[in-house]
Amino acid sequence: MIPLFAQYPLLKERIPYVSLGEFPTPIAHLSKLGREIGADHLYLKHDGLSGSLYGGNKIRKLEFILADAIQKKAKQVLTFGFAGSNHCLATAVYAHKMKFKCISMLLAQPNAQYVRRNLLYSHFCGAELHHYKNERTMYMPALIRLFGHFLKHGKFPYIILPGGSSPIGAVGYVNAGFELKEQISRGLLPEPDQVFVPLGTMGTAVGLMVGLRAAGLKAHVVSVRVVDEKFGNKEKFIKLFRKTVELIRSIDSSFPHMKIVDDEVDIMHNFFGEQYAGFTEQGMTAVNLVAKSEGIKLDGTYTGKAMAALIDRVRNNSLRNEVILFWNTYNARDFSGTIKGVDYHLLPGGFHRYFEEDVQPIDKLH
């Protein structure tokens, strides 16, 4: 049974849940990296291994989201992201497994090798992919699709918010907080003082903060913003926190009533760079350092930037004696064999540019 349900049996009865991944995810002690950057107690929570078909942070959310879709008898899920979205890929992979039709509405983004891989794997999983230049041009087609579906089936498709960051999706990371608590109790790591996590649509960081607190852990969550500030900011963070706690408490009122104030939300803004999915020098230096010292692959869009922030904060604040946990949100499963024979010409024309144009220069090292 998942740790959240073990603590709150009422939630087990009343919140739909489907097991998609492999939990608990491992804890790694990053002793070599820690020595290099001056952190004596540096650990990693390996959510890259959260699923056998595809890992990363979206799997925990989808266990609750797709279960909700099953309960609502949906046949089709519709979601949103940028062209290389790990969220849309994870949704395509696990929707396919659960026999949903998956439709992804995707926006243009800077080119990178992972964009190509993700698109091919989404296509392989049977997802219907649509490409739009910007949000404005996506709006009408999305509405038309929704109402067309309504006229045909008498209901809307099941909508999954960008990044899966609804309160229901965030519950996956509330559970992750309780999972960490169990691993601490089993002696796999000391209780962390600080937990570093990338901040995108915020479901991961928010859910984790709710979960860690509810589990009675003192850990301070440091969120490293890797998206435009209009998507990731304190106001939205606090709102999603409140809604997530309210959702859980509406189902089981014995869950603690928690509030956060402005000061408790620690968002690092200086590692974003120029734009979403635009890799940075610092981020890629961190990616290479972690690959060399620990053999773990981070990415340029999310985890590389978060690790760069961690390294910076450790160095500038001499956190040598603190227990620091890096929450790895990036998929670690190799699916290159699966997509080997997939021809990009099978994708809609709007996506061909990602295969025909160069990737951003800094990505060549990958």
Ligand X SMILES: *Cc1c(COP(=O)(O)O)cnc(C)c1O
Judged by CB, which is closer to ligand X: 8, or 80?
80
Angle of CA points 77, 93, 326, to nearest 5°: 110
- Applying the rule CB under 6 A, the residues between 18 and 57 that interact with ligand X are 56-57
**In the complex, least distance from residue 306 CB atom to ligand X, rounded to whole angstroms:** 8
Q: Does 303 bind ligand X (CB under 6 A)?
A: yes
* Binding residues among 281-300 for ligand X as defined by CB under 6 A: 299
Spell out, one character per residue from 128 to 167, where the chain touches ligand X: x when CB under 6 A holds, - when not: -----------------------------------x-x--
Q: Select from 131-139, 181-189, 201-209, 273-281 the region that touches ligand X (CB under 6 A).
A: 201-209
Assess 200 for contact with ligand X (CB under 6 A).
yes
Q: Which of 25, 76, 201, 233 is in the footprint of ligand X by CB under 6 A?
A: 201
**Which range, of 26-34, 116-124, 179-187, 192-200, touches ligand X by CB under 6 A?**
192-200
Q: How far is the CB of 201 from ligand X (least distance, A)?
A: 3
Which of 107-115, 141-149, 193-201, 355-363 is the region at the interface with ligand X (rule: CB under 6 A)? 193-201
Piece of the chain touching ligand X by CB under 6 A; list 111-119, 194-202, 234-242, 252-260: 194-202
State the pairing for strand pair 194-199/158-160.
unpaired
Min. distance of Cβ 172 from ligand X in angstroms?
9
Contacts of 87 (CB under 8 A, 6+ apart): 58, 79, 81, 162, 163, 164, 201
Residue type, 18: V
Contacts with ligand X by CB under 6 A: the residue count is 19
- Binding to ligand X by residue 198, rule CB under 6 A? yes
Nearest-angstrom CA–CA distance, 12 and 199 = 28
Nearer to ligand X, 104 or 165 (CB): 165
Asked whether 172 and 61 are in contact (CB, 8 A), the reply is: yes
Q: What is the DSSP code string of 116-133? A: HHHHHHHHHTT-EEEEES
| Contacting positions for ligand X (CB under 6 A) | 56-57, 86-87, 163, 165, 198-205, 299, 302-303, 329-330
